[in-house]
Amino acid sequence: MTRRILLVNGPNLNLLGTREPEIYGEETLTDVEAHVGRVAGDFGLEVRAVQSNHEGVLIDAIHEAREDCSAIIINPGAFTHTSIALRDALSGVALPVAEVHISNVHAREDFRRHSYISGVADCVIVGCGVQGYELAVRRLAAVLAG
């Protein structure tokens, strides 16, 4: 088994730290990716981090994960609520998937309550702030350990 996790962040998550900090906190995406890498390292796992504002780039990254990753952590941003293509990419590669949302999408606008991704995710972590990414690593490490 490849001991690597793909960490995918979708649109606008490159703005973490400055974007609506009252909702998303003050940590930057660089902070988050470094932390995820450290936690994964504790389990002997590597992380490849990808962020894009473009749906097709995210889909290509997910397809490439088939070659050299064993699991995927994804915060699809607003594509959560719109993208059947992203859902199909995730189900197509058939790797364990953890869906993460920094904010509690259920306590916000109605349109954020529906996720196209959750139906193909193995776990969904919502409203835990950026700590959700760490929880996702821990869960996927347990899943991969069998």
Q: What string of H, E and C letters represents the secondary structure of 81-120?
A: HCCHHHHHHHHHHCCCEEEEECCCHHHCCHHHCCCCCHHH
Residue 111 burial (C-beta neighbours within 10 Å; 0-12, 13-18, 19+): exposed
Q: Which of 112, 120, 128, 131 binds ligand DQA (CB under 6 A)?
A: 112
Least distance (Å) between residue 12 CB and ligand DQA: 5
Count of chain residues binding ligand DQA (CB under 6 A): 10
133 included as an active-site residue? no
101 included as an active-site residue? yes
Residue type, 41: G
- Residue 69 has φ and ψ, to the nearest 5°, of -130, 155
Contact 41, 33 (CB under 8 A): no
Q: Which of 39, 105, 121, 137 binds ligand DQA (CB under 6 A)?
A: 105
Window 59-88: contact mask with ligand DQA (x via CB under 6 A): ----------------x-xx-x--------
| Segment lying near ligand DQA (by CB under 6 A), choices 49-57, 64-72, 97-105, 137-145 | 97-105
Q: Which residue's CB is nearer to ligand DQA, number 33 or number 144? A: 33
Scan for tokens 């869960």, then name that residue.
139
List residues binding ligand DQA (CB under 6 A).
Answer: 12, 75, 77-78, 80, 101-103, 105, 112
Catalytic positions, written as ranges: 24, 101
